[in-house]
Amino acid sequence: MIEKPWEGRFTEKTDRSVELFTSSIHVDKRLYAYDIDGSIAHCKMLAHTGIIASEEAEKLIEGLGAIRREFQRGKFEFDHSLEDIHMHIETRLFQEVGKVAQKLHTARSRNDQVALDSRMYLRDETRTVIRLLTALNAAIVSLAEEHIDTIMPGYTHLQRAQPVLFAHYLLAYFEMFMRDSARFCDCFKRINVMPLGSAALAGTTYPIDRHYTAGLLQFPEVSANSIDAVSDRDFMIEFLSCASICMVHFSRLSEEMILWSSTEFGFIELPDAFSTGSSIMPQKKNPDVPELVRGKTGKVFGDLMALLTVMKSLPLAYNRDMQEDKPLLFDAVDTLKACIEIYTAMTPKLKIRKDRMYQASTTGFLNATDLADYLVGKGMTFRESHSCVGKTVGYALNHGKELHELTLDEMKSFSPLIAEDIFSVLTPEQMIQRRTSFGGTARENVRAAIQTARQRLADAACP
């Protein structure tokens, strides 16, 4: 039976069911490398300030190094009676270096230790997420570059609205993912604060040097209030909010991939390597990747809601409830990274069916606004032209024609202002070319936007 570091005041052994219930080692073992790095820095600080002797610190650091190698070789043994990663490493250190191990925890509590480990972990993962988003955005911009001439119908209310360049549509997602990336960069600043040295909640009586530890662990800032430092999980909630917003974008993109790869739309074909079949219907090619991304969105929202709920009524400072933060955080990190990665791999392989997209943008009266604008150009007010074109559309519908399929005489019967030049106005190419307002879909705008996007990606500094 291994002795628990805290069992001094107890007269009874912990019930096995309680050990299993309270243990978090299966989850927080993931933090082992951060726990060891944090402990080594703490050790160095204790020696630096003369709280322990430097020979003692050396012994501890050596022992911690040996434990790290044990983890790396998969040889570290876990035991639920030791609750969490912190107690596992401390106990193992005792077996490794003897009594001096008991000095490691001087001026420290598991409360500030777990806050430190979580922040170090999330700091790394946030950097990874930002890097992955940059790679995804590069893939999106490359696909946009290939499709500077691909025309598709743009939608509102999922009804055909006006033609746009497919590149323009893709760059809309580029903007969303760039904002996500910026949000993660901003969130990073608040993750990157060092809580160690807050001890249980009140600080410590030892003459520690928190800034020294922070320097060793590359934290630019030290938390200012010990009570806050051990109670705060805002940095996780903020990360989960950023992740949720990012998943909203993935979910919308996925919804479109699913719709567009259907026979009804037929705008894209998903690569075979990213699709699956049906066990009963031989003809099926299912969009499981976007469907799963759409589904996983719910899970990430759930992680955010769960952590908000865990934290919402907790009195200061640390409460054991907070141990429930890690499964939520880890799940969201894993899910988000997996979604970004799969989209980065799939995007260059999408088969874009330009002909189908083009065809769809020539039917469904996508040029009605342009006919109205044409009439305004000839002197009509927009309200008048709107109603005039509405009547023309009604007529065309009754005759099974598109606006550009009407004869000049038919058109003239709705307004004498309409002349021969109308036909060049109503083509999708011309409609796109005229939308030169900044941020609009005209080809030259989109070409410039692609250039700017490349520059923005090159300039994007990862924290």
Catalytic machinery residues:
157, 278
CB atoms within 10 A of CB 85: 26
State in angstroms the smallest separation of the CB of 224 from ligand ARG.
Answer: 21
Question: In which residue are the tokens 């119908």 written?
Answer: 153
CB atoms within 10 A of CB 373: 18
**224-to-32, 198, 206, 412 alpha-carbon distances in Å:** 26, 9, 17, 75
Residue number, 56 or 84, with CB nearest to ligand ARG? 84
Residue number, 230 or 396, with CB nearest to ligand ARG? 230
Binding part of the chain for ligand ARG, among 98-106, 307-315, 320-328, 363-371 by CB under 6 A, reads 320-328
Dihedral sign from CA coordinates of 351, 355, 356, 360: positive
375 vs 186: CA distance, rounded Å? 48
Residue number, 104 or 114, with CB nearest to ligand ARG? 114
State in angstroms the smallest separation of the CB of 318 from ligand ARG.
Answer: 6
Among 322, 329, 360, 418, binds ligand ARG (CB under 6 A): 322
Residue number, 30 or 252, with CB nearest to ligand ARG? 30
Three-state SS annotation for 120-180 = HHHHHHHHHHHHHHHHHHHHHHHHHHHCCCCEEEEEECCEEEEEEEHHHHHHHHHHHHHHH
30 vs 27: CA distance, rounded Å? 6
Binding part of the chain for ligand ARG, among 217-225, 319-327, 414-422, 432-440 by CB under 6 A, reads 319-327
Q: Binding to ligand ARG (CB under 6 A): which residues in 263-292?
A: none
Residue number, 99 or 320, with CB nearest to ligand ARG? 320
95 vs 99: CA distance, rounded Å? 9
Residue 392 binds ligand ARG (CB under 6 A): no
Residue 24 binds ligand ARG (CB under 6 A): yes
Tell me how many helices (H) and strands (E) the chain has: 19, 6
452 vs 429: CA distance, rounded Å? 23
Inter-residue contact 348 to 139 (CB < 8 Å): yes
Residue 323 binds ligand ARG (CB under 6 A): yes
Residue number, 191 or 371, with CB nearest to ligand ARG? 191
The bridge status of strand 193-194 relative to strand 221-222 is parallel
Among 32, 174, 219, 318, binds ligand ARG (CB under 6 A): 318
45 vs 3: CA distance, rounded Å? 27
The bridge status of strand 268-269 relative to strand 351-352 is antiparallel
Helix H or strand E encompassing 221 = strand 221-222
Among 9, 75, 99, 320, binds ligand ARG (CB under 6 A): 320
Q: What angle separates helix 382-398 from helix 368-377, to the nearest 10 degrees?
A: 140
Residue number, 67 or 340, with CB nearest to ligand ARG? 67
For 263, the token pair is 């026979």
State in angstroms the smallest separation of the CB of 305 from ligand ARG.
Answer: 20
State in angstroms the smallest separation of the CB of 31 from ligand ARG.
Answer: 9
State in angstroms the smallest separation of the CB of 56 from ligand ARG.
Answer: 25
Residue 139 binds ligand ARG (CB under 6 A): no
State in angstroms the smallest separation of the CB of 22 from ligand ARG.
Answer: 8
Binding part of the chain for ligand ARG, among 252-260, 303-311, 314-322, 405-413 by CB under 6 A, reads 314-322
Residue number, 138 or 230, with CB nearest to ligand ARG? 230
Residue 133 binds ligand ARG (CB under 6 A): no
State in angstroms the smallest separation of the CB of 25 from ligand ARG.
Answer: 9
Q: How many residues bind ligand ARG (CB under 6 A)?
A: 10
For 292, the token pair is 């799963």
Instruction: Write the interaction track for ligand ARG spanning residues 58-87; mark x where CB under 6 A is met and - where it is not.
Output: --------------------------x---
Inter-residue contact 217 to 275 (CB < 8 Å): no
Q: How close are the terminal C-alpha atoms of the chain, in Å?
A: 45
DSSP output for 277-344: --SS-TT--B-HHHHHHHHHHHHHHHHHHHHHHHHTTPPSS--GGGGGHHHHHHHHHHHHHHHHHHHH
Q: Binding to ligand ARG (CB under 6 A): which residues in 93-122?
A: 110-111, 114
**365-to-200, 397, 411 alpha-carbon distances in Å:** 68, 9, 14
State in angstroms the smallest separation of the CB of 204 from ligand ARG.
Answer: 15
| φ, ψ of residue 219 in degrees (nearest 5) | -100, 125
Residue number, 104 or 138, with CB nearest to ligand ARG? 104
State in angstroms the smallest separation of the CB of 91 from ligand ARG.
Answer: 14
Binding site for ligand ARG (CB under 6 A): 24, 28, 84, 110-111, 114, 318, 320, 322-323
